[in-house]
Amino acid sequence: MAYKDFRDFLSTLEKEGQLLTISDEVKPEPDIAAATKAMSKMGAETPAMLFDNIYGYTDAKVAMNVMGSWPNHALMMGLPKNTPLKDQFFEFARRYDQFPMEVKREETAPFHEVEITEDINLFEILPLFRLNQGDGGFYLDKGCVISRDVEDPENFGKQNVGIYRMQVKGKDRIGIQPVPQHDIAIHLRQAEERGENLPVVIALGNEPAITTAAATPLLYDQSEYEMAGAIQGEPYRIVKAKDSDLDIPWGAEVVLEGELLAGEREFEGPFGEFTGHYSGGRSMPVIKINRVYHRKNPIFEHLYIGMPWTETDYMVGINTSVPLYQQLKEAFPNEIVAVNAMYTHGLVAIVSTKRRYGGFAKAVGMRAMTTPHGLGYCKMVIVVDEDVDPFNLPQVMWALSTKLHPKHDTVIIPDLSVLALDPGSSPAGITHKMILDATTPLAPETRGHYSQPLDSPLDVDKWEQRLRELLK
């Protein structure tokens, strides 16, 4: 089912009625961001958008909202576009278990068509534009950034592919936000301790399996390329960079090769973030771009990010939930049923679990907070019974409203770590965290009156099937 490249995926979206081409002239600002934000407000089944008539440009094409809905997420996995969310979660988890899938190496790639090494001007090569009004500049926020472990450079698994926000800050200069929890921050620290620049590649306009893998909180030594292969069910195609030993997604539209400058920090930001707040301005590392390649007439892919829900939330929803699910299952293999960590990248997570004894669910909540992703997120973990679907918020609210006793079931743990972008953290990066145990009390717990749960009339399942047939 693998998509050959970005264009192949766009053409599938078009065939499935999930791509809207906008050929009326639009202005770079505010039209592209405004239209994309407006599309995000229109529900969970929206199409991608392709803008091909942008004021002042001759042949620029900009794709937005490419994975900004559940149908598009299903198509990313080669599933029917109407696949229910919970089914997408379990199918993703099944494929996650197929990791690692060996990669396929290629000698050449379509992005070799045009190569620029002199007088690079990113403002001219890329159709850049502002996303939110307070942004400090023009950002790249859906590019795959590739770097290698400096101390173990031969280790393919420790090569990282990640999505990081990047501000274009000069003709050949890009600012990047590698917060300490990110894998690229480990690589940068290794390089800076040696006094060396860190080679990096930025691949823009990729088919969606690698973007999904790059946005998944994998373990440090797990390869995103081997995970992209597992997601798409075929070896992932990569090609070597020319200035370093880095591997690049074969199907990229535009590739920027460069190096993170050791010891350099420069003012960056603010940027409207997935938390629905701006990040503030800080001093961050700089990438010097030495080589650019791109396909002829490249399609520039970009992502609107801001007040949830936007494309980001679809892009990091299931692939954040699944690693938490798998890591919780390692601790509690017979109990964990499903995990929904789709809200603000898992700052809130909902775990459905069986219980072995009273108090068990609270331990599940604490374990969620100590997973690698939970250390930076999982500010609030809601734990529900096995018969509550964590993806069905009315069911979750029912569990909270009827199973939770505030005196016994609210646990607050002080001063844990969280990502610094959490606007409520104080100081930035530190927050109390909370477990809400909305499971049914179990012995030796004796409180509450839960011995008469409501059942359904007989034959509801039979009728549901019959009604579905009648409604076809």
Partner 1 sequence: MHTCPRCESKEATVVAKSPVEGAWEVYMCPVCIFTWRSIEPETITNPEKYNRAFKVNPDDIPSAENVPALPARYIK
Residues forming contacts to partner 1 in the complex (CB under 8 A) are 27-30, 55-58, 60, 121, 123-124, 128-130, 133-134, 136-138, 167-171, 175, 177-180, 185, 188-189, 192-193, 195, 262-263, 265-268, 270, 278, 281-285, 420
Nearest distance from residue 124's CB to partner 1, in Å?
5
HSE-CB for 300 with a 13 A CA cutoff: 24
Nearest distance from residue 231's CB to partner 1, in Å?
30
Residue with tokens 């997601």: 231
Q: CA–CA distance from 327 to each of 96, 322, 364, 388, 416 (Å)?
A: 12, 9, 11, 20, 20
Minimum CB distance to partner 1 smaller for 75 or for 286: 286
- Residue 141: name the closest of 164, 124, 174 by CA: 164
| Coil/strand/helix, residue 328 | helix
Nearest distance from residue 58's CB to partner 1, in Å?
5
Minimum CB distance to partner 1 smaller for 130 or for 240: 130
Neighbours of 365 (CB within 10 A): 26
Minimum CB distance to partner 1 smaller for 274 or for 278: 278
| Coil/strand/helix, residue 361 | helix
Nearest distance from residue 342's CB to partner 1, in Å?
26
Nearest distance from residue 243's CB to partner 1, in Å?
24
Nearest distance from residue 188's CB to partner 1, in Å?
7
Minimum CB distance to partner 1 smaller for 136 or for 233: 136
Q: CA-to-CA distance for 377 and 350, rounded, in angstroms?
A: 12
- Please identify which of the residues 224, 253, 273, 335 carries the catalytic annotation: 273
Nearest distance from residue 445's CB to partner 1, in Å?
45
Neighbours of 123 (CB within 10 A): 11
| Coil/strand/helix, residue 337 | strand
Q: CA-to-CA distance for 114 and 300, rounded, in angstroms?
A: 15
Nearest distance from residue 31's CB to partner 1, in Å?
11
Minimum CB distance to partner 1 smaller for 185 or for 336: 185
102 has catalytic annotation: no
Minimum CB distance to partner 1 smaller for 30 or for 157: 30
Q: CA–CA distance from 278 to each of 41, 133, 139, 142, 212 (Å)?
A: 20, 10, 13, 18, 24
Q: CA-to-CA distance for 234 and 167, rounded, in angstroms?
A: 34
HSE-CB for 168 with a 13 A CA cutoff: 21
Phi, psi of 340 (to 5 degrees): -115, 100
Q: Are strands 61-64 and 299-301 parallel, antiparallel or unpaired?
A: parallel
Minimum CB distance to partner 1 smaller for 192 or for 437: 192
Rg (CA), the chain: 23
HSE-CB for 140 with a 13 A CA cutoff: 27
Phi, psi of 258 (to 5 degrees): -170, -155
Q: Which two three-digit tokens encode residue 394? A: 């009315």
Minimum CB distance to partner 1 smaller for 111 or for 278: 278
Minimum CB distance to partner 1 smaller for 24 or for 464: 24
Nearest distance from residue 311's CB to partner 1, in Å?
23
Neighbours of 234 (CB within 10 A): 15
Neighbours of 314 (CB within 10 A): 23
Residue with tokens 């994309």: 36
Q: Taking each helix axis as running N to C, give the angle between helix 318-331 and helix 360-369, from 0 to 180 degrees, rounded to the nearest 10.
A: 120
The residues annotated with a catalytic role in the active site are 273
